[in-house]
Amino acid sequence: MKVNTPILLLPDAGPLITLAYADALDVLFKPGWSVQIVDMVLHEVTRNQTPTSLAIGAWADENKLQILPTKIYKHYQQAQAVGGITPKKSNLGELAVQEAMTNLVLSSPPPVGVFLFEDHKIARAGFVLPENCRKVSTRAFLTFLEQKGWLESASALERKAILNGRNFSQLRFPPS
């Protein structure tokens, strides 16, 4: 990776929910990377009223985050508009992130895409990403922030999310 290569952080729903429970969504900005949200992921975390949906929506609005459009979300919306057909919802956010990251290859120069996830299936599955993209678990990201001195304690943030009601993943990725 070249020194001037831009880095784009694309969080999945799980990390957004965990960080919202910890009242710590702003840690996503700590590395100074561009933070963007894929349209399907934003829809997933705001479509129903949950303990975190309003906070995530407000945070995205307040920070004027760029919402990346995807064919996945467009198809989802079209399917719902036609006679109330409800397409299968599982994995749509992850597929939309994969689509957005694949589209990064077409940028010149292509940024490094960092997919922030919290789902065991993504860690273990053949989630295909272009060469310029990485996948990183929420826990690994928080540990990275702590190691860089941008976060006082990754474990304290995890504890806060859990104490506030989040069933935080026990996933260790990469495995220790």
HEC readout, the chain: CCCCCCEEEEECHHHHHHHHHCCCHHHHHCCCCEEEEEHHHHHHHHCCCCCCHHHHHHHHHHCCCEEECCHHHHHHHHHHHCCCCCCCCCCHHHHHHHHHHHHHCCCCCCCEEEEEECCHHHHHCCCCCCCCEEEEEHHHHHHHHHHCCCCCCHHHHHHHHHHCCCCCCCCCCCCC
pLDDT, averaged across the chain? 86
**63-107 pLDDT, tens per residue?**
999 999 999 999 888 888 877 666 666 678 888 988 898 888 888
The more confidently predicted of residues 24 and 50 is 24
Q: Residue 1 pLDDT more than 50?
A: no
Which of 72-86, 123-137, 153-167 has the lowest average pLDDT?
A: 123-137
Q: Residue 167 — pLDDT band, cuts 50, 70, 90?
A: confident
Which residue ranges make up each domain of the chain?
Answer: 8-163
Arithmetic mean of pLDDT, 145-167: 93
Q: What is the CATH number of domain 8-163?
A: 3.40.50
Which of 19-33, 38-52, 79-93, 101-115 has the lowest average pLDDT?
A: 79-93
Q: How many residues does the chain have?
A: 176
Percent of the chain with pLDDT over 90: 52
Arithmetic mean of pLDDT, 145-152: 96
